Amino acid sequence: MTVPADWPRMSMAAVRGALTAPGQPFEMDQVTIDGIATRVWKNAPANLTQLIALSRTHGDRLATIHEDQRVTYEAQYRAIATLAAELRAMGVAKGDRVALAMRNMPEWPVAFFAIVATGAICVPLNAWWSPQELAFGVNDSGARVLIVDRQRHDRLDGDYRAMPGLEAVLVARARVPLSGICRRLEDAIGDCSGYASLPEVALPAVEILPDDAATIFYTSGTTGRPKGALGTHRNLSTNILSAAYVAARSYLRRGEMPPEPEPKVGLLVIPFFHVTACSASLMGALAGGTTLVLMRKWDAGEALALIERERVQVTGGVPTIAWQLLEHPDREKYDLSSLEVVQYGGAPSAPDLVKRIFDVFGALPGNGWGMTETMATVTQHVGEDYLARPTSCGAPVPVADLKIMADDGVTERPVGEVGELWARGPMIVRGYWNAPEETAKTFVDGWVRTGDLARLDEEGFCTIVDRAKDIIIRGGENIYSIEVEDVLYAHPSVTDAALVGVPDPALGEVPAAVVHLCPGCEASEAELQAFVRARLAAFKVPVAVRFSDTVLPRNANGKILKSELRQMFAAPGKA
């Protein structure tokens, strides 16, 4: 695929004018959010209960496919309404927190939407977290109820004493008898195969305003302590029209009229507990009737088989997924002609990936930028726009604004200059849960300070050039260095430690550590890796550990010079 000589056939400004004109689906309005005048999508659902009701109109179309389990939208709606009624009977009220920790399975969206339909706040927890991390999320959020799958229940060993605020735990697909505060989720809603036969139950009659709290997604910070980003119903519903706008924009840019929206089949390989999957994917799926094909765990070979079997039209997630599909030795054995779009975000990607997706799959490449604090989508990039600017993450959607700020946090930098990326719009979360000081540092007059270093061009396309925050992104999973460094420092033999990101062809980058041991002390690479693995999620464990004979190099301010440490892993085969 190449960019035609006469492209684009419509400017970004002209596209925006046509699509957002009065009476058009993407018409905008202006509302006041926390005292800030904010552009919003006029036709976005006012709350997620409206979205749940809308999803029922898709009837017998499949909502989720997971192995041999197939759940229709009507069946999913009945399960959501039934579970919401059960939660209300358990005493869950508006503003209460209900935590959710499970892998991707049909029960996840049922639980999520049942929670928010009560007016409660859903707290999706990273299913890869260690027991200590899961306990932190439950305790910090003040969750009264926890919904887990069997694997998370087993990981916690059925012992919830570290979460004293919990009043009830619902366990999906438990294989052993439960006791105490634990009971089977199936006692409330049955298993997936029976959702369609559940009796009709009305959704709870709760007044939910667009800017009422809906979610707490945890994101670590440079302090190492995870922070809960407090999202609203409006934050989540904004993504529905943002994604649809970008799709329509791509047609007008090439001189074609956007077709009427049609339900798609998407292979979802990102965990629901990430905003990319929950907000950017799941919300639009319910609105448009998309069928989400779920995987127990990522496997490129299985994904190829699913694309062929289910005639998947859209997939992606992070660049490593696209690379693994492209480079799988059995790829040519499968009919992948149904693929229309392969999109991703969350990690740096090579410009060559853009062209290869089209050349190999005949699918349009797409990417975008967002973060937990923006509830995912702020910019999106697809088709010719992406091919023309393969290092960019796209232009902001019309309801969002971007600006590039100098280090003083006051001076805005001109077009083309690099500085810290700030973003605002109806997708920006309200702040951090119970962390007013951290909120004040990050959220300023409606803007979120992203910590990313970027530049904007004349048409508003954004290019991320570096990360100001000390973060490593491993295949889309955020690893905050200080969190791992704190664990390494806790080892009795370690007196100095630093974590750095080193390039990886499949995952983008992976964590590696450099440590200095105390005099006379001993510790092996394997020992330190096991020490971290026992305390943090597996994806945070350093893939390699190097030992320094001296304390680690620092600048005049005492900050470790990580650029020097990365050179220890630069030689082929060392990391």
* Cis amide linkage into residue 226, ω under 30° from 0: no
Residue 432 has pLDDT above 70, yes or no: yes
354: CB partners within 8 A, 6+ apart = 365, 386, 387, 390
- For 292, the enclosing helix (H) or strand (E) is strand 291-294
Residue 557 has pLDDT above 80, yes or no: no
Evaluate if residue 285 carries a pLDDT over 80: yes
CA dist 284 and 442 (Å) reads: 28
Mean pLDDT of 541-554: 91
The average confidence (pLDDT) of the chain is 92
The CA radius of gyration of the chain, in Å to the nearest whole number, is 24
Judge whether residue 531 has pLDDT over 80.
Answer: yes
Residue 513's alpha-carbon distances to 28, 430, 481, in angstroms, are: 48, 35, 9
pLDDT, one tens digit per residue, over 192-213 is 999 999 999 999 999 999 999 9
pLDDT band, very low/low/confident/very high, at 163 (cuts 50, 70, 90): very high
pLDDT at 468: 65
List, for residues 91-148, the tens digit of each pLDDT value: 999 999 999 999 999 999 999 999 999 999 999 999 999 999 999 999 999 999 999 9
Are residues 206 and 95 in contact, defined by beta-carbon separation less than 8 angstroms? no
**The predicted structure's pLDDT at residue 469:** 64
Q: Which DSSP string corresponds to 132-181?
A: HHHHHHHHHHT-SEEEEEHHHHHHTTT--TT-TT--EEEEET--S---TT
List, in sequence order, every residue forming a beta bridge with 65; answer none if it has no partner. Answer: 70, 293
Residue 552 has a pLDDT of: 86
Domains of the chain: residue spans and CATH = 12-44+231-467 (3.40.50.12780), 48-62+71-208 (3.40.50.980), 471-569 (3.30.300.30)
pLDDT at 571 (0 to 100): 55
pLDDT value of position 478: 80
Strands of 360-519 (E only): list them. Answer: 364-371, 376-382, 395-396, 401-405, 419-424, 443-444, 447-456, 462-467, 471-474, 477-480, 494-504, 508-517
Question: pLDDT value at position 408?
Answer: 92
pLDDT band at 222 (very low <50, low <70, confident <90, very high): very low
Give pLDDT tens digits for 293-306. 999 888 999 999 99
Using alpha carbons, select from 117, 159, 115 the residue that is nearest to residue 141: 115
Q: What percent of the chain has pLDDT over 90?
A: 74
pLDDT band at 224; cut points 50, 70, 90? low
Q: How far is CA 226 from the centre of its chain?
A: 15
Residue 575 is predicted with a pLDDT of 39
Region 22-44: what's the mean pLDDT? 97
Identify the pLDDT of residue 189: 98
Lowest-pLDDT range, 71-75, 289-293, 354-358?
A: 354-358
Tokens of 363: 């699918």
The answer to whether 176 and 129 have CB atoms below 8 angstroms apart is: no
Which helix H or strand E contains 63, and what residues bound it?
A: strand 62-66
pLDDT of 559: 62
Burial class (CB in 10 A: 0-12, 13-18, 19+), 301: middle
Q: What percent of the chain stands above pLDDT 70?
A: 95
For residue 458, pLDDT over 60 is answered with yes
Do the beta carbons of residue 481 and residue 470 sit within 8 Å?
yes
